[in-house]
A and B are shown apart, each in its own frame.
Chain A
Amino acid sequence: MIALLIRDLRLATRAGGGFGLAVAFFLILCALVPFGVGPDTSALRPIAPGILWLGALLACLLSLDRIFALDYEDGSLDLLATAPLPLEGVVAVKALAHWITTMLPLVVAAPLFGLLLHLPAQAVPWLIISLLIGTPAMSMLGAFGAAVTVGLRRGGLLLSLLVLPLYIPTLIFGTEVIRRGQEGGDPATPLLFLAGITTGVIALIPFAAAAALRINLR
């Protein structure tokens, strides 16, 4: 399992692996928002947490098809499926690798990009915490979507259509944490909901994703 994780990490960081592209996309998105809504602090500040969450979500979405597509094309996914490691474990490791290579840089970059959007300082810790807790669920759900669409020729658009509705609860609770945190309210309730969703997703989605992969590899 660890060997697989290291292999995936190495592949992602190698040239052409697309490492860092998600962060660049995230930056462009955050830079474009003020052009759309105007540079006013008063206009940007209330929407900053939502934009940052949406940006992370879209950046995640763009990188999802890489989770399984390359391994499917060169046949190593078939090898992984027949390996002694259960396919559920493969899915979990792949999602973890995606999280480390794509989502973790986003979490680190989010406070910086928050400056561009005039995110208030007292919201920054909540932004980091909520993203840290919420993004693993996004990686795992994305792995499920990628597993469902792996064999399809025009899978990209379908993948977004399937995965985005699944992100709604995470998005709602994630932005709610920041909103309450920055207004001085009690962010514990949405935070617990967010953590509950993430742990539930990590526990259950690998089985669904592995089932989808087995169907596609048949």
Chain B
Amino acid sequence: MIELGKYSTTVLAAYGVSLALLAALIWQTWTANARARRDLEKQENRRNG
């Protein structure tokens, strides 16, 4: 384990907050994209089928 000294909470909090925000953004992007793709495929199948 890397030694962070007296500022360990500061550093860990900064990394934690940033990574959580990024993860939320990526998750939202991913699920929205998956949903749009699924809905579109359903619609196109309905039209063709």
A contacts B directly in the complex (CB < 8 Å)? no
